[in-house]
Amino acid sequence: MSTLRLLVSCPDRPGIVSAVSGFLFERGANIVHSAQHTSDPAGGTFFLRMEFDLPDGERGDLLDAFAARVAIPFDMNWHIADSAVPKRIAVLASKADHCLVDLLWRWRRGTLGAEIALVAANHDDLRGEVEPFGLPYHHVAVESGRKDDAEARLADLLEGCDLVVLARYMQILSGDFLAKIGVPVINIHHSFLPAFPGAGPYERARQRGVKLIGATAHYVTEDLDEGPIIEQDVIRVTHRENAQGLARLGADIERTVLARAVQWHCEDRLLRHGNTVVVF
């Protein structure tokens, strides 16, 4: 029996956990994991993640019953996902291969918690890396003055995907494109945001003489590199490193930070709240 995952955010008030757990008990569910957090016990936002087993015969009207009995009375934003149904991922890339190949290996080994459906790139350089994995590779060039055409083709390719991952995809996505695809997009930025957003962060970090470099995985919004942060990590560096050396050291941080963010999303561990992300 696969577990179901419940994610909840709502105004904090007494009785939320009791209402949820009581509802699940009445349905014959067994709660196997539970985590909660409140931004402020006095008028804050309450967050909850539960995993539970539920007999197949009790699943038919689960969503409607939970909405009526629990979600609506507590003014919840909520979602229930089946752990046996992996999310379908589309990966967008450009020329750098380290983040893309790392995701492909994790997918092949069954540790990503999702299915990679396709890879699309604005250059054809990575075809030889992708096709041995048995995945379709789509070259969608972004020609000068024809970005709308490229985004329209990408949107058609991404239909049916649950998540888009930017594995060093060096193009800015328009608000219209994000609205059209209608699914979350996770990006990896090669900087410890909010420091050095945009292009060339390693070069600017070198000029600034930083002692730590890092990487940031975040949800994509219309505002460049300002979306809600999911995960970050850093590595210590010295004045001996040039920009190329910083990029070489940062590559490992980029791929691991991105992989963690993608896996957490696919395991339904993330709850967005304004410009922040609660990670369970």
Q: Which residues are tagged catalytic? A: 225
Look up residue 183 and give its DSSP letter. Answer: S
Tokens standing for residue 208: 């600034």
Q: Which residue has the tokens 């070069």?
A: 203
Tokens standing for residue 101: 């190949």
Do 20 and 13 contact (CB within 8 A), yes or no? Answer: no
Residue 25, SS3 per DSSP: helix
Q: Which residue has the tokens 């003489």?
A: 209
Q: Which residues share a beta bridge with 90?
A: 118, 164
**Cβ of 103: how many Cβ atoms within 10 Å?**
24
Q: Classify the phi-psi angles of 118: left when phi > 0, otherwise alpha if psi is within -120 to 50, otherwise beta.
A: beta
Q: What whole-number distance in Å separates Cα of residue 121 and Cα of residue 138?
A: 6
Task: Compute CA distances 163 → 184, 266, 268, whole Å.
Answer: 5, 9, 12
162 φ, ψ to 5°? -100, -20
